[in-house]
Each structure stands twice: as structure tokens, then as C-alpha cells.
Structure 1
Amino acid sequence: MKTMKWKQVGIIVAACSLLAAGCSETTAGPEESQPVVKVWKLESNQAGSIASGKIAPAEEIQVVSKLAGKVEQVHVKEGSVVKKGDVLVSLEANDYLEQIRQAEAAIASAQARLLDTQAGARSQELQRLESGVEQAKAALEVAESSYNRMKALYDSGAISQADLEKVTLELEKARTGYDQAKAQYDLAKAGPTANSVAALEAEVKRLQSGLQLAKSTYENTKIVAPISGIVARRSIDPGEMAQPGVPLLVLVQMDQVKVEASVPQEQINQVKVGSAVDVKVDNRTLKGTVEFVSPISDTNSSSFPIKVRLDNKDGALRAGMLAEVYLPNQATDSEVKIPSSAVVTKENKQFVYKVDRDIVHQVEVTVGEIKGDWVAVTKGVAAGDQLVLNPGDDLAEGSKVIVN
């Protein structure tokens, strides 16, 4: 019996030891019990109004074709970095090359005619024309002699009226032939007129203009980058048809970006082009410059659009990111705008939780106007404060936290 009792005691002691060991292993350490919080830091220059907006490229260009044509090759893809003048898309160009060749041949023919005209008739040509004049003159003399003889016979009644008219017609033909031969000879001997030369010169210039147009059209089969930047979108592939004015690619310039925001009517006159402002993006505070203040309000509100330019050499800012523009001199010195998610209400009082290193302090604040996701605080916060966003019920004065 004693042996059984001692065995039971041993079992109980062992169980207690295991239970104690299990409790020691599952008990969380001090660090593991600390809640993880996200904070928002109040910068020294964040007193005043905040204009919320989005990041946009400094330049965004839709690349289009001037011609309708089949795409032969696309030289870039989305994300490609290009320089101004780089060829982006090539259209099939054989037809346009043939137009250039035809225009060059037409110019060569016109220039040859112009040179011949300017040079005038050759000596051999003049001799031929002069011989023609002599022959026409001889034919005219024969026709005149025949007419005179037949006229005398007609007057004596020896021939009829019809016979006389026949020789009269032959005489007129001979006289016309002589006049034409002499005119051709005189024209060739005198050389080309100023008007004939001018007409041929004008024809050459017209054809040269046609050649330039053909070359320009051929060059338009190479669609080049109008700016340096990044290919943000591509909507064409080889074998597809390009149409004039239809976007093929979208280029953006991101070395600099702009924030497009809206400012209420009562504050817009205090925002000046060229003034420096602070812009906060993902807890980064950046320096920006106001480059545009719209003279007209948004269509559906009384707010006025503004644009703030920022440097983006590191490429960290991307189009579509949310940003807050801190406008100078927009509120009293004692008023600060903080996210409304940092404020909690207890017993009809408002509090925020400040993080000092890893210790939380509950601080009562005096709030003013609430606008959207922001609330004006006139007392209780200061520059440099780190405020807990969306604090949980487990936070209290003196709690230790881990800042995310």
C-alpha cells in the first residue's frame, strides 16, 4: 500500500511540473504583448489647410500616326525608356518609296525639256527649217504662176469658174505653207521666249514640291517619340492597321511629376503661382512649387484646381498616388490639421495618443472643423508629435507599443 501511495504522489508531482513548464513556455514575453501601431507624424509646417490630390506625370503624350497603314514593326514595349526622336512604330512603306521614284523621274524629264528650250535650236535644225522655207517659197511661186495663167484663160472664157477656183485654192495652200515654214524658222532662230522658259521652270518647281511631299509622307511611316520618357501604354501590334489620330502608344515623362489638387473658394486667392509648398506622400514630405492656379472652378463644385510640380529623380513617385499639399498661410497659427482617425472620443472629450519612443501618452485635444478625413486641432498637439492612427481599446496612458 505504501508503494502505491508513493507512486500516486510521484505522478501528482510530475503532472504539476509539466503544468508549470507548459505555463512558462506559453506565457508571452513583454515585447510579444506590445500592440503594433501605425503613426502619423505632424511636421513643423503642417499648420493650415490641406489640399488632397493625386500624382500625375509632368507630361503625358498620346502617340498617333499621321497616315493610315499596316504596322510593320513596333520597336518598344510597355516600360521602355525612350528619347525624343527614337523610332517607336514603323508602317509598311513600299508604296511611298515608289511615289518618290516616280516623282524623281518626272523631275528629270521636266529638267531635260527646260535645258533643251534654254539652249535653243541647233544649227542643223536651223538649216533644215531654212531649207523648208525655200521649198515653200518655190511652191508658192509655182502656184502664183499657175493662177495667173488660169486667170487669163478664165477672163478669155477658155475655162470655167470651177477650174479657176481650183487653182485659187492651190495658191492659198501654197501661201499658207510658206507662212508657216517661215514662222517656224524665225521662231527657232530667235530662240525661246521668256514665257516659255518660265512655264517650264514652274513645272520643274511643281514637280519638286511633289517630291518633297512624297518624301515627307514616307518619313511619316516612321512614328517617332515626341518627348523623352517611358512607354506607359501600348495598344498596337505588328500586322494591325494604324489610323490617323488613333493613339498607338502613351508616353509619360516622370523625372518630374505634378500634384493635381483642388482648393476651396475662400482660400484660392492665397495660393500664388511660383510659391513653395510642402507635399506629403506616404509619410514623405517633399518640396514642391505651385505652377498653375486655375482661373475657373471645377464644374461641379466651388473648388479651384491647382497643380504643384515635384522632382522625381528617384522614380519613387508614381501616377495615381495620393498626396496632401500643405498650403501656407491658410489658417491661424494655433490650428493644425490631423487625420480624423487619430482622434478618439471618451466621455464627451476628444483625445489623441502620442508615441514617445515606444510609450503611449493619452492627451486631450480641442478640435474644431471636421472636413472629410481631416480635423482641425487648436490645442493639444505640436510639431514633431507622432500620433497613433486608429487606436484600439487596448491603448492607455503608459502603454508600450511597437511602431510599424
Structure 2
Amino acid sequence: MGKWLRIAMAALLVASIFGLAGCASNGEQGAVTVSKAAARNGKLTCGVVVSGKLEALKSANVVPNMSGRVDKIPVDVGSEVAEGDLLVSLDALNLAALVDVYAAQLDKARNSDLPAQKNQMELALTNAESSYKTAEAEYQRSKQLLDAALLSQQQFEQSEKQYIQAKAAYQAAQNNLNILVNATIPETIRQNEAQLKKAQADLDNSVIKAPISGIVTARNINPGEMASPAQPVVTLVDLDTVVVQANVDENQVNDLQAGQEIKVKVAAVQEELFTGTVTNIAMAANSSTKAYPVKVQIKNPGHTLKPGMFAEVYLNSQEEEGVIIPGEALMKSENKSYVWLINSGQALKREVAAGQSDGNNVVINLGLNEGEEVAVTNLDLLSEGKPVIIQ
């Protein structure tokens, strides 16, 4: 008897276990898997949204003005530099030697005996001028004597010849002095100056400095390699101010003006909106997009905004404050709005008063409190009291 009693009790226990398992299985099969979101207090900016990508307002691809072997590169990707800082130095030993050679040649040419030659020419001109004046006076006197028949024709011609010779000598002395004065820096000196100027320019160009303040985003060469004007050695971007270019429809472009403040959202950085300034509005539409390119500058003191980030520009924006939930969580039926509240693993339908939407989120003005959780997916499968499984 005891044996059969034990067998019966064991069978009853097994049946109870399977019965409970069956109930649990049936409960799970009836549940709906949903994702959820918690309601939060905040501000929502609404309006027409156009998108674009951030760019640095100022950037520079730095190329050398001459070819040369790289000696030093004190910067790398991520380095912050100020305008005028050293980026790359090329091997300049030969260039420095050339500067010394041409400087010595120029100094030698400038210290030639030109001053002594000039003194000699000035003395020769003085003597020639004196002889010319004497010959001219004698020539005029001879003409008068010839006219008075007091001088023979032969004597007059001799006086005239001396006058012509003295005049020619005087003019030659003037020309020689003028040539020497104009040749104070003769051709050899000019050549030396040109050579020295070029050598000094090459030496200066061997030191490549930052044309703007910014951050190094690319370094395309290493010490020992050959640099040339055909390829940038370093790329710089100034992140203090970034710009986003958005394509604005013809219906909104006339609502904008240069200098106008405008809201910009960069979700990769923060949910809060940045304030930008409209700086440029195209006067003609893009032939491909049929929209008007508009540029908006944004101050970026912390350099959190990076070129290439996606940005949304809000046109005619308005702010509304309230409880915010994802737009997918809101359902409408018969001119009423409601959400599926998640409470103790069940879905509870609650009517709410909805405000503005930015296309992603919506403001709930009445019927929902901060921290309450709402279902976001599979809303059509829910019913009052329906069990839910959170995804």
C-alpha cells in the first residue's frame, strides 16, 4: 500500500510541474515584445529642418615653394600650432653656403675702385670745360677779327678747329662721367645682388611655417624624404569656427538674411542646439538640386564640432517646453492621441495631449509625467493589460 501511495504522489507532482510549465509557456506566448523609452522634461525646437555637413571655416594644404630633402618635422597629426610655427625644415646646408658666397662677392664688387674713377672723371670734365670755354672765347674773337679783315682765313680756320675739338672733348667728358655715375652699381654688382637675393629666398623657403593657427589633420612626409611643390606636406584646419552649408528650398530662402541667428543640431555631439549665424545666401539656385546654398557659421571654442559631422539646420524654429517622448510612441485615433504606458510588465493605454514635433520627438503637454515609460515598437499588437517583454 505504501509503495502504491508513493507512486501516486510522484505522478501527481510530475503532473503539477508540467501544468505550471504549460501555464508559463502560455503566458510568454501571449506577451508582446516591445522597446521602451522614458519620458523626459526638456525643450523641443521645431520648424523646417535642412541638413548638411560641417566643414572647417579655414583650412590650408601646406606645400613647399621648393624641392628639398626633409630635415625635421616637429609636428604630427593632432598637433595644435599657431600661425608662424615651424612645420617642416628642409636640408639647408648648401643653401646657407651659397648665401655666404654671394654675400662675399657682392661686398667685393661694392668695394671696388669706382670712387677713384669717378674723381678722375670729374677732374677730366673740369679741365675739358675750361679748355672748351677758352677755345669758344678765342673762336668768337677770331670771327670778329675776320669780319674786320684783321685776321686771315687760315688763322680763323685754325681757331675754329681748336674750338670744335675742345667742344667735342668737353661733351665726351660729360658722357663718360654720366656713364660712370649711372654705373655706381655696375652689372656685376646687379648680378651678385640677384644671386644673393635668390639664395636667401631659397634659404628662407627651406623653413616651412604654419600659414594659419589650427590643428594638423594630415602629415604626408617624413624626415629624409624628398618634398616638392607638387604635394602638400601638412594639412591644417582651424576649428575655432565651423561652417555648415545647407540647401534651402525656394519657399524658405527669402525668410533668411545675413547675420541672422539660427539653431543647429549636431546629434553626434549633444542634443542641445547650437546657435549659428547665417553668413552667406546664394543668389541663384544650384542647377542640380534646385535649392539655394546657405552657409551658417558656428563658434566652436571647445573644438567638439568636427569637419564631416552631420548637422541639422532649423529654419523658422520655435521652441516648446514639456515632457518629451519619441514620435514613434505616439498613436492617434479619432482625433485623439494616446500612448501605451508600460507598468508592471503590462501595457496600459493612456490618452495624452500632444504638442509640436521635430520629426523625431514630440512634446506631451498633458497626460504623461517625467520618468514614466512608454512602448515605442509593436504598438499595433498591444491591448489593454497585454503582457509585454522589453526588448
Whether TM-score is above 0.5 comes out as yes
Query: Which amino acid is the alignment partner of residue 320 of structure 1?
Result: G
Q: C-alpha separation between the residues in 2 aligned to 1:290 and 1:90?
A: 40
> TM-score, normalization: structure 2?
0.63
Contact map agreement 2:77 2:217 (CA 8 A) in 1:
yes
Q: Match of 2:87?
A: 88
Q: Match of 1:244?
A: 229
Report the Cα offset of residue 344 of structure 1. 7.7
Stretches of structure 2 lacking an aligned partner (at least 5 in a row): 121-168
Find out whether 1:207 has 2:192 as its counterpart. yes
Q: C-alpha separation between the residues in 1 aligned to 2:326 and 2:337?
A: 11
Report the Cα offset of residue 311 of structure 1. 2.1
**More off after superposition, 214-223 vs 355-364:** 355-364
Report the Cα offset of residue 350 of structure 1. 10
Q: C-alpha separation between the residues in 2 aligned to 1:58 and 1:233?
A: 17
Counterpart pick for 1:196 among 180, 185, 206: 180
Tell me the SS of whatever aligns to 1:110.
Answer: helix
Q: C-alpha separation between the residues in 1 aligned to 2:212 and 2:245?
A: 22
Q: C-alpha separation between the residues in 2 aligned to 1:277 and 1:354?
A: 35
Change (3 A) 1:367 1:74: closer
Q: C-alpha separation between the residues in 2 aligned to 1:279 and 1:388?
A: 28
Q: Alignment length, in residue pairs?
A: 320
Q: C-alpha separation between the residues in 2 aligned to 1:20 and 1:69?
A: 87
Identity %: 27
Report the Cα offset of residue 88 of structure 1. 1.3
Contact map agreement 1:350 1:366 (CA 8 A) in 2:
no
Report the Cα offset of residue 212 of structure 1. 2.8
Find out whether 1:76 has 2:79 as its counterpart. no
Q: Match of 1:35?
A: 35
Report the Cα offset of residue 357 of structure 1. 12
Change (3 A) 1:390 1:252: farther
Tell me the SS of whatever aligns to 2:6.
Answer: helix
Contact map agreement 1:79 1:230 (CA 8 A) in 2:
yes
Report the Cα offset of residue 275 of structure 1. 0.5
Tell me the SS of whatever aligns to 2:308.
Answer: coil
Query: Which amino acid is the alignment partner of residue 281 of structure 2?
Result: V
Tell me the SS of whatever aligns to 2:200.
Answer: helix
Contact map agreement 1:38 1:403 (CA 8 A) in 2:
no
Change (3 A) 1:385 1:346: same
Contact map agreement 2:341 2:375 (CA 8 A) in 1:
no
Contact map agreement 1:257 1:310 (CA 8 A) in 2:
yes
CA RMSD of aligned residues (A): 5.1
Contact map agreement 1:34 1:401 (CA 8 A) in 2:
yes
> TM-score, normalization: structure 1?
0.61
Change (3 A) 1:281 1:274: same
Change (3 A) 1:354 1:9: closer
Q: C-alpha separation between the residues in 1 aligned to 2:219 and 2:204?
A: 21
Counterpart pick for 1:321 among 299, 309, 316: 309
Cα shift readout 1:96-145 (whole Å, capped 9, x = no counterpart)? 223212211221221121xx22145999xxxxxxxxxxxxxxxxxxxxxx
Q: Match of 2:114?
A: 117
Change (3 A) 1:315 1:13: farther
Query: Which amino acid is the alignment partner of residue 102 of structure 1?
Result: V
